[in-house]
Amino acid sequence: MNRRQFLGRAAALAAASLSACSLPLERTARAPKKVIVLGAGLAGLAAGLELAQAGHDVVILEARGRAGGRVQTLREPFSDGLHADAGAHLIPNQHHLTLKYARLFKLAIEPSTPLFEARLFYVHGQRVVANYGVDVEWPFDLTPEERKLGRLGMWERYISAALGDLGDVTAPGWPADHRLEKYDRMTAADLLRSRGASPGAVALLRVGYLDLIGDGIDSYSALQMLHNLALRQMETVRYAIRGGTDLLAKAFADRLAGRIRYESPVVRIEPGERSASVVVGRNGQHQRLTADSIVCTLPFSVLRQIDVSPSFSPQKQRAIEELPYTSIARVYLQFRRKMWTTENLYVTAATDLPIKWLFEHTINQPGPRGILEAQAAGIEGRRVTRMTEGDRIQFALDHVERVFPGIRGDFERGTSKAWDEDPWARGAFAYFRPGQMLSLLPHIARAEGRVHFAGEHTSPWSAWMQGALESGLRAAREINEAL
């Protein structure tokens, strides 16, 4: 299948998916209430819109001067109207809720990264093109059987074969099966080794996706890895919003005009039995707002910095204090031409370098210029975060040059985004250390009296726009149905 055929087929799949999905129904409130939503990310915007359409009096408090939260599109300093998403970007085909809202707001979507595309790896100082179904000589110390299996075969044996144990990972209360505890107690790397993976196989399989969570596969729960992969089993096409993902957030904000108060950071939450209040700090002054219910969409990395009195339950407080967030630093490099297309359409590259992942943001944007994202995660993400802007760009360019020799001559300009240093994010997305899925997950999304919780960290689809939107609808439904 060539690129034109792929785009045509993907567009047809998108149209079929959208036409088959109905939008969330408006709900008529029996007794309209006042609701304060904390955060104008996608979770807060979805909750606010649905509650407002149901007839409630909604106010959304946002610390930033814009809507979207970790949805942010960079247009400066790029040339020719090019742009790159600094946060959420991809929409897998099974994320029907995200596609529904794109349709609601009449946003154009287009195919993004082809899943079957030949992928470029840079490992052990070598460039390796890995086409699925084609023998590849990997520079790792693999067993004879592993070499015969290939990367895809090893993935199936050491990882995918365990997915059948999980059940429905989207079911309320999952994971209730105590037999899954064995997976939560071990790291993702432990799981590979327990299923017979050699050290060389572990080193190969971690390159790319598996090492972009937490501090890599030695740091997070094997149950989380399996959970994430189970959600991706039906993924066949990935889409992006034409013009930038922030158009989705802007469309929400336009519908909620007058209800969003920007540059209004919350410094205190006061849960109560009959009402709840928040204290907003703005321009050196504090203002108390009271409502019947609160929807808190703040990342726990931010919420743990906010005073809560009276305190939440010990279980909720523990989840807030202990839930870790992945450190991601993204550097965007603009080149005068897409020299990587002279060999093949490498839109992604995975490496064992400090820059673990390369991704082209301009695959569907016109003109000869291109933007590559060089992403560092975990320990290396924090290392890049501590650098100056200029040092980040040079560091990323040095590593991209190793993957694409000679590309430095086409470099024009760059910029970066480090989510750890964003005071209203303090990390890119939540993850679970070993043991935390079973101990923390039951308490993360649970309401505390009149305070309801939403955000990607409270959803089965964590780290995705789908998770933020789904959680916002869930919180709105909790409030509406409790009246």
Q: State the burial class of residue 305 (Cβ atoms within 10 Å of its Cβ: 0-12, 13-18, 19+).
A: exposed
CB 140 within 8 A of CB 204: yes
> 342 φ, ψ to 5°?
-70, -25
Query: If you search the block for the tokens 């600094």, which residue do you land on?
Result: 86
Q: What is the mean pLDDT of residues 292-305?
A: 98
Q: DSSP 3-state assignment of 5?
A: helix
Residues 128 and 64 in one domain: no
What is the token pair recorded at 143? 């067993």
Q: Could you tell me whether strands 84-85 and 73-74 are parallel, antiparallel, or unpaired per DSSP bridges?
A: antiparallel
Q: Are 60 and 48 in contact (CB under 8 A)?
A: yes
Question: Rounded mean pLDDT of 390-399?
Answer: 98
Report the range of poorest mean pLDDT among 227-241, 312-326, 380-394.
227-241
Is the residue at 181 inside a domain? yes
Question: What are the angstrom distances between the C-alpha of 428 and each of 70, 183, 187, 251, 421?
Answer: 8, 24, 20, 23, 10
Q: How confident is the model at residue 235 (pLDDT cuts 50, 70, 90)?
A: confident
Mean pLDDT, the chain, integer: 91
Per-residue pLDDT at 346: 60
Are residue 160 and residue 306 in the same domain, yes or no?
no
Q: Is the pLDDT of residue 12 over 70?
A: no
Asked if the structure places residue 384 within a domain, the reply is no
In a domain, 421, yes or no: no
**Residue 280 above 50 pLDDT?**
yes
Residue 238 lies in a domain: no
Domain extent for 50: 3-69+261-320+439-482
Lowest-confidence pick of 337-346, 353-362, 409-418: 337-346
C-alpha dihedral sign at 109, 260, 272, 318:
positive
CB-based burial of residue 262 (10 Å sphere; 0-12 exposed, 13-18 middle, 19+ buried)?
middle
Q: Please tell me the predicted confidence (pLDDT) of residue 23.
A: 46
Query: Whose structure tokens read 């950071």?
Result: 265
Same domain? 213 vs 272: no
- Are 459 and 316 contained in the same domain? yes
Domain count, the chain: 2
**CATH number for position 477:** 3.50.50.60
Task: Assess whether 131 and 212 both reside in one domain.
Answer: yes
Grade residue 262 by pLDDT with cuts at 50, 70 and 90.
Answer: very high
Please indicate, yes or no, whether residues 143 and 210 belong to a single structural domain of this protein: yes
Domain end point (choices 187, 210, 231): 231
In a domain, 246, yes or no: no
Q: Which residues contact 16 (CB under 8 A, 6 or more apart)?
A: none
Within-domain flag for 315: yes
pLDDT of residue 3: 41
Pairing of strands 276-282, 34-38: unpaired
What are the pLDDT digits (tens) for 410-467?
999 999 999 999 999 999 999 999 999 999 999 999 999 999 999 999 999 999 999 9
The answer to whether residue 252 sits within a structural domain is no
Q: Three-class SS of residue 192?
A: helix
143 and 65 in a common domain: no
Distance CA 245, CA 422 (A): 19
Q: Which residues of 70-95 are buried (b: 16+ CB within 10 A; e: fewer)?
A: bbbbbeeebeeebbbbbbbbbbbbbb
CATH number of the domain bearing residue 201: 1.10.405
Residue after which a domain boundary falls, among 190, 216, 231: 231
Q: What is the pLDDT of residue 14?
A: 43
Are residues 124 and 222 located together in one domain of the fold?
yes
pLDDT value at position 343? 62
Q: The tokens 């630093």 sit on which residue?
A: 329
Average pLDDT over residues 334-362: 87
DSSP code for 87: S
Same domain, 271 and 216: no
